[in-house]
Amino acid sequence: MTKELAHGILVIGAGIIGLSAALELQKQGHQVRILDRKGVAAEASAASAGAFAFTDIVPLATPGIMRKAPGWLLDPLGPLSVPPAYALRIAPWMLRFWRASWRSRYQAALAAQVQLMAHSRAALERQIADVDGEPLMQREGQLQLYEGETAFRAALPDWQLRREHSIRFDLLRSPEAIAEVQPGLAPRFTHAAFTPDWINTVNPKTWAEHLAQAFVTRGGRIDTAEVTALHSEGGETVAQTKDGPVPAAQIVVACGAWSHHLARTLGEHLPLETERGYNTTLPPGAFGLKTHLTFPAHGFVVTKISGGVRVGGAVELGGLKLPPNYRRAEILLQKAKRFLPELNTAGGRQWMGFRPSMPDSLPVISRSARAPGVIYAFGHGHLGLTQAAGTAELVAALAANTEPPVPAPPYSATRF
């Protein structure tokens, strides 16, 4: 391969994080090239729920959560599960997850998540304006739904936490109030919280392709190639591909659930695991969805995608190699039918994707400790789309060696 990037930046990964970072770096005047083993939005960015979930500030590792861990093994179809075949493999990650749930560490992760969410919300608006992306946005809010007074009251501390961080919402206390926002829900949902500022994209793959087109139109280049290793010697940073070496002044690693494999070639062992998410996309006309629906007790969402309906979510901590368990997608669709009696479940397309997850729910956005020319941008879990634009601005600051827009230590690769 050529040495055309000897003074430019190579981004590894053409998902939403890599594309956003490449665009921001390009805007800062860098020559940028993207390499991806499959192409634009071919993995997790292809079929997410399409939500910019800026209200989701609470880390997954909350105090006391490990009391639920036995159930994750016993219920392979539950909202959060660990396949028994993967339990021993994930044990070291689960130990770090437990430590992240200690109250002091949880509070620190919460504060870091709040600051990244606030920055990412503003960054998204800048990104939308920059690429004329408003036609691809749906500003229709979100309903979080609860079955009964007890479940609703249990959720109130989290809503108070959101209020303290200036997140707008309205609490709804009857099926009739809920129906004014979203008709057609089963009456078992007696309470809800509506967040009016919630945003979705019309389709996450379409949004990623739109960013890719903007990048290419402005002179960027996207190629298909699998990067197998990284090297840093004598001030030169090199990505090794099956077609040969690609030297660059700086390299951004943004290849999602596979990123830790490249970090390992530099001698850095980062605790990244895989949240396997499942969904079913139903064709247009399946249901008259007016807002994004979240069913927190059941771990899934129902969202509008290209005029159709996508039912998906849950967390299966199962790594990259176990075969998909599409029974999980079927269970979610069956629940959605019970919750939305008029939902037409015919003609659906199933999907499973890999979300890169760190034990403390925070991404890694930092320079490599072993190779100063390498910048990491991965580990966002199910919040990659949400935090992509904010991450891109942090990556650009790192590349330019300027002060980042938010304090960087919480996202350091060395924090573990």
Q: Residues with Cβ < 8 Å from 283, sequence gap 6 or more?
A: 308, 347, 348
Residue 4 binned pLDDT confidence (cut-offs 50, 70, 90): low
Alpha helix stretches (DSSP H) within 81-133: 87-100, 103-130
Residue 2 binned pLDDT confidence (cut-offs 50, 70, 90): very low
Query: What is the bridge-based pairing of β-strands 199-201 and 227-233?
Result: unpaired
Residue 36 has pLDDT above 80, yes or no: yes
pLDDT in tens, 59-103: 999 999 888 877 777 787 888 889 989 999 999 999 999 999 999
Q: What is the mean pLDDT of the chain?
A: 95
Helix axes 87-100, 103-130, angle to 10 degrees: 100
Contact 322, 88 (CB under 8 A): no
Which residue type, as a one-letter code, is found at position 298?
Answer: H
Residue 1 binned pLDDT confidence (cut-offs 50, 70, 90): very low
pLDDT in tens, 151-169: 999 999 999 999 999 999 9
Q: Give the pLDDT score at 277.
A: 93
pLDDT in tens, 305-345: 999 999 999 889 999 999 999 999 999 999 999 999 999 99
Q: What is the pTM of this model?
A: 0.95
How many other CB atoms are found less than 10 A from the CB of residue 89?
16
Residue 396 binned pLDDT confidence (cut-offs 50, 70, 90): very high
pLDDT in tens, 157-203: 999 999 999 999 999 999 999 999 999 999 999 999 999 999 999 99
